[in-house]
Amino acid sequence: MNRNKRYYKNSKVVDRYSRLDGLQGPEQAFLDMYRERLTGLRLLDLGVGGGRTTLPFCSHAGEYVGVDYSQEMVHACNRRYRDLPNAMFEVGDARSLPQFPDGHFGAVLFSYNGIDEVPAEDRRRVLDEMHRLLAPSGVFFFSSHNLNFMSRLFAASFWSGPRRYLMLRAINRGRRPLGQDFGLFDDGWQNLRFRMDTYYISPQHQFKQLQEAGFDGIRAFSVESGREYEGLEDLRSSVEPWIYYLCTRP
Ligand SMILES: C[S@@+](CC[C@H](N)C(=O)[O-])C[C@H]1O[C@@H](n2cnc3c(N)ncnc32)[C@H](O)[C@@H]1O
């Protein structure tokens, strides 16, 4: 088992995620945009964690399926949402979900950067699987860490104290993907414990990956303000920690 998965099976982590609620700005914007359409749809909430997004989306979707590769997270959701008639929770891995047939879902949500915990070499498998699971005109909405944030993270940790900065540098020595569009970092966000490998990608490269996997109508939203970016030029100057992407399976 890789260390990311081990992290999400930890009881303290499960407990923390189970107490989260409230939507991030772009999630609320997505819900507002698709509220009417969701009523008749099956929605997959992938990497559902402790169910932060369950109630708002479940109450609008025709059918709601929460999936996570951590059995402990799925148990927590089952405990938290015993009485929701149109919701079910299952253990499954985003890289391969053979329990669902082609075109089974009208919308897939992979919120709060869950896709960035997948090993880099398997990221394309996830995108292909989402494409397979979506019906024509189905939408995929997810967030991913922004490679352009790295310089801001190093600067912020420098000013927050030498210990954090030096640890961040030491742990990530040799990881900076010079001249590339993505890389794995241990950003130490989890209380300086440095327990996860997290994928960071430039917005331009994220657009390219989605196009190569067959998605179109790609849009991007700011996690900090919720506003929609006006295309790749606008995104180029973004240094926020992660970005939400919305795209369509033609
Ligand atoms: C940062 S948490 C977000 C949880 C929840 N979506 C939220 O917004 O609070 C990421 C979640 O994705 C799950 N996850 C990571 N990789 C996964 C994979 N390959 N398949 C299914 N779930 C995965 C983790 O177990 C974790 O619960």
Residue 177 pLDDT: 56
How many independent structural domains does the chain possess? 1
pLDDT at residue 178, as a whole number: 44
Answer whether 115 contacts ligand 1 (Cβ < 6 A). Answer: no
In a domain, 167, yes or no: no
Rg (CA), the chain: 18
Which CATH number goes with the domain that contains 53? 3.40.50.150
CB 228 within 8 A of CB 219: yes
203, 214 Cβ separation under 8 angstroms: no
Does residue 78 form part of some domain?
A: yes
pTM: 0.93
| Residue-level pLDDT at 173 | 73
Is the Cβ atom of 202 under 6 angstroms away from ligand 1? Answer: no
H and E: helices and strands count for the chain: 10, 9
Confirm whether 150 is domain-assigned: no
CA nearest to 240, candidates 171, 170, 156, 184: 156
Q: Which of 7, 18, 117, 244 to mutate to test the pocket of ligand 1 (most atoms within 8 A of CB)?
A: 117
> Which pLDDT score is estimated for 38?
94
Is residue 42 lining ligand 1, measured as CB closer than 6 Å?
A: no
The rounded Å distance from CA 47 to ligand 1 centre is 3
176 in a structural domain: no
| Domain range enclosing 215 | 3-145+202-248
Residue type present at position 227: R
pLDDT value, residue 85: 92
| CB proximity list for 73: less than 8 A, separation 6 or greater | 8, 14, 17, 48, 49, 50
Render each residue's pLDDT in the chain as its tens digit; 250 residues: 788 899 999 999 999 999 999 999 999 999 999 999 999 899 999 999 999 999 999 999 999 999 999 999 999 999 999 999 999 999 999 999 999 999 999 999 999 999 999 998 999 999 999 999 999 999 999 999 999 887 777 777 666 777 777 777 777 776 655 447 888 887 775 554 557 788 999 999 999 999 999 999 999 999 999 999 998 999 998 999 999 999 999 9
Report pLDDT for 165. Answer: 73
Cα of 174 from ligand 1 centre, angstroms: 27
Does the beta carbon of 141 sit less than 6 angstroms from any atom of ligand 1? Answer: no
Give the separation between CA 214 and CA 126, rounded to whole angstroms.
13
* 106 Cβ inside 6 Å of ligand 1: no
pLDDT at res. 166:
76
Q: Is residue 235 part of a domain?
A: yes
The conformational region for residue 246 under phi > 0 = left, psi -120 to 50 = alpha, else beta, is beta
Q: Which tokens hold the place of 108?
A: 């897939």
**Burial track 25-47 (b if 16+ CB lie within 10 A, e otherwise):** ebbebbbeebeeebeebbbbbbb
> Residue 200's beta-bridge partner residues?
145, 183
What pLDDT was estimated at residue 115? Answer: 97
- 28 domain-assigned: yes
CA of 112 to the centre of ligand 1 (A): 8
